[in-house]
Structure 1
Amino acid sequence: MSSFDSMTPLESDLQPPVHSDVHVPSPFLGGFLRHNLLMHAAKFSFQASSNAGVLPPAQFTPWLASLAYPVGRYGLLPAYFREIEVIGQENIPLSGPVILAPTHRSRWDAFVIPYAAGHDITGRHLHFMVSADEVVGCQGWLIRHLGGFPVNTKRPTISSLRYGIELLRKHEVLVIFPEGDIFRGRDIQPLKPGLARLALQAEANQPDLDTRIVPIHIHYNQPTVPWKSRVKIQIGTPLRVADYNLGSPKNDAQLLTCGLFRSLKSLEERV
């Protein structure tokens, strides 16, 4: 039995609450995408498996991501927001395994993160960890083919967590909201330790992996994010996971979680 098998399956720490993570807002499914994508999506509508909560991995489609990112960057976001400011894009690693760790203030976060750090900026596709109940029907088809992958928060499985680790082993970019739920207030909320545990386990399995965690602070000038709001995205200095891999999984996860919290707090203070 591997060390990962012997661990408690991160339970609900790693996964955001059922109604929180990446939910694709309805504007994204309008106009061109509604006409062209949903007709095709109906043929592949995801039905959750009843076998012990087993969920298939993402079915990433590069051409669809190449279409969706520009639609968001040049169409949806400029039309909705009065101003979008991005600071610190030079802090995003252009190679190696990366976890983007943004604050979670709105469902719009799922759009502004690709705007700030998506493929057309870094040349790297993003893989959002998504609550399984969001990945259903046509919306689920779209999320999967844009690189998102589900985690069953009610019946978490080792296979879902392994998939996240496998993405890191392949030097991909994950997006995990460490606060878990959406919080409208400005203050950084206590972080769930699951992100740190996942990153540390990936490092333990492959000591030379060199995973980086990038803190990202998202600030909307109005908490409800109405039309013509302003948003500021600050990208901080990456944390090197190997620096926290000291041999005690529980303590190491606590130290890494605290380090990430301090980084996010520092970004918050610059707003």
Structure 2
Amino acid sequence: MMEFYYSSDTCQRTPVNPQANRTTSRVSPWLSPLAYLLGRHCLLPLFFGQIRITGQKNIPTTGPVIFAPTHRARWDGLLVPYAVADCMTAKDLRFMVTIDECQGLQGWFVRRLGGFPVNTQHPSVGSLRHGVELLKQGKAVVIFPEGNIYRYGKVPLKPGIARLGLSAESSHSGLGVKIIPISINYSQPYPNWGTDVSIHIGSPIRVKDYASGCIKKDGKKLTGDLAKALEQLSHQETEITNHAFAEITNS
């Protein structure tokens, strides 16, 4: 049986009942392909101006992956699969989202497109356990490390990604979880029709390189390095002409 741990101020680990507060997710076999097809070929190309993507070669084609994008607008949830579609299929993507995003009509769609809720203020062991299960199945989990939409300034990252990656890696030797930082930049703070988008995909961060056995220390180091990677990617926006990118036109 898998055990999950909450970190404390020391390197001691306290086991938590893995059956508590069970969380699940699913991908609708008809809604998900339709939504991604319409989004990729109709909605996004018609709404946005130019969509530029760099770093697609950094996306692993096999093995468990955590995509860690910046969160600047609600459009991010569609732009991430748009950017990684050549390497991942819709059935492989799951989204860890806030509880508020799983309410009402929006929540109905989110849950059928692979979304599952997490309380960012008090994360439950159920959300963590489900994330680990997905990674063990070789799927990709999308988590916004800032925890919410922030349009301006530098935002401290939440520890959830590090906790999930380290828990998965420790529960299955040689799992090989990789975290992929993604910076999404809009030409306007509040995207509207014709807004340009730049998406920069960074080099994979190997979780096993941080698994020394002290959850709190390892998580802090991993979160810090992820923050640095996202900051470096955001700086590429000012130097975009010096970088090769794959341009997707409105055809």
Letter in 1 for 2:145: P
Conserved? CA contact 1:178–1:195, under 8 Å: yes
1:134 paired residue among 74, 90, 101: 101
The answer to whether 1:204 aligns with 2:145 is no
Q: Secondary structure at the match of 1:129?
A: strand
Letter in 1 for 2:141: L
Identity of aligned residues (%): 48
Whose helix proportion is higher, 1 or 2?
1
**Once the 2 structures are TM-superposed, how far is the Cα of residue 2 of structure 1 from its aligned partner?**
6.3
Letter in 2 for 1:247: G
| Counterpart for residue 269 of structure 1 | 235
The answer to whether 1:71 aligns with 2:70 is no
The answer to whether 1:111 aligns with 2:110 is no
- TM-score (ref. length: structure 2): 0.83
Q: Secondary structure at the match of 1:140?
A: helix
Rounded to whole Å, the distance in 2 between the matches of 1:65 and 1:82 is: 24
**Once the 2 structures are TM-superposed, how far is the Cα of residue 95 of structure 1 from its aligned partner?**
0.9
After superposition, residues 48-87 of structure 1 pair within 5 angstroms as 54=21, 56-87=23-54
2:214 paired residue among 239, 242, 248: 248
Rounded to whole Å, the distance in 2 between the matches of 1:54 and 1:136 is: 18
Rounded to whole Å, the distance in 2 between the matches of 1:140 and 1:79 is: 25
Q: Which consecutive residues of structure 2, in runs of 5 or more, have no partner in the other structure?
A: 9-19, 238-251
Rounded to whole Å, the distance in 1 between the matches of 2:230 and 2:219 is: 16
| Counterpart for residue 36 of structure 1 | none
Closer/same/farther in 2, CA of residues 97 and 69 from structure 1, 3 Å limit: same
Closer/same/farther in 2, CA of residues 87 and 110 from structure 1, 3 Å limit: same
Q: What root-mean-square deviation, in Å, do the aligned CA atoms of Structure 1 and Structure 2 show?
A: 2.1
Rounded to whole Å, the distance in 2 between the matches of 1:134 and 1:247 is: 34
Q: Secondary structure at the match of 1:105?
A: coil
Rounded to whole Å, the distance in 2 between the matches of 1:55 and 1:94 is: 29
Rounded to whole Å, the distance in 2 between the matches of 1:224 and 1:145 is: 27
Conserved? CA contact 2:132–2:168, under 8 Å: yes
Q: Secondary structure at the match of 1:202?
A: helix
Rounded to whole Å, the distance in 1 between the matches of 2:89 and 2:2 is: 34
Conserved? CA contact 1:244–1:256, under 8 Å: yes
Conserved? CA contact 1:55–1:151, under 8 Å: no
Letter in 1 for 2:6: M
- TM-score (ref. length: structure 1): 0.77
**Once the 2 structures are TM-superposed, how far is the Cα of residue 121 of structure 1 from its aligned partner?**
4.5
Q: Deviation per CA, 1:44-100: give whole Å up to 9, x if none.
A: xxxxxxxxx946511322332211111001111111101111111111111110000
Rounded to whole Å, the distance in 1 between the matches of 2:234 and 2:199 is: 10
Rounded to whole Å, the distance in 1 between the matches of 2:225 and 2:21 is: 33
Rounded to whole Å, the distance in 2 between the matches of 1:117 and 1:54 is: 31
1:169 paired residue among 136, 143, 147: 136
Letter in 2 for 1:63: W
Q: Secondary structure at the match of 1:222?
A: coil
How many equivalent pairs are there?
225
Rounded to whole Å, the distance in 1 between the matches of 2:122 and 2:180 is: 28
2:114 paired residue among 147, 162, 177: 147
Conserved? CA contact 2:120–2:147, under 8 Å: no
Q: Deviation per CA, 1:214-238: give whole Å up to 9, x if none.
A: 0000110111112110000000100
The runs of at least 4 consecutive aligned structure 1 residues that moved more than 6 Å come to none
| Counterpart for residue 7 of structure 1 | 6
Q: Deviation per CA, 1:182-228: give whole Å up to 9, x if none.
A: 1112x442211121011101111112100000000011011111211
Q: Which consecutive residues of structure 1, in runs of 5 or more, have no partner in the other structure?
A: 10-52
Whose strand proportion is higher, 1 or 2?
2
Q: Secondary structure at the match of 2:236?
A: coil
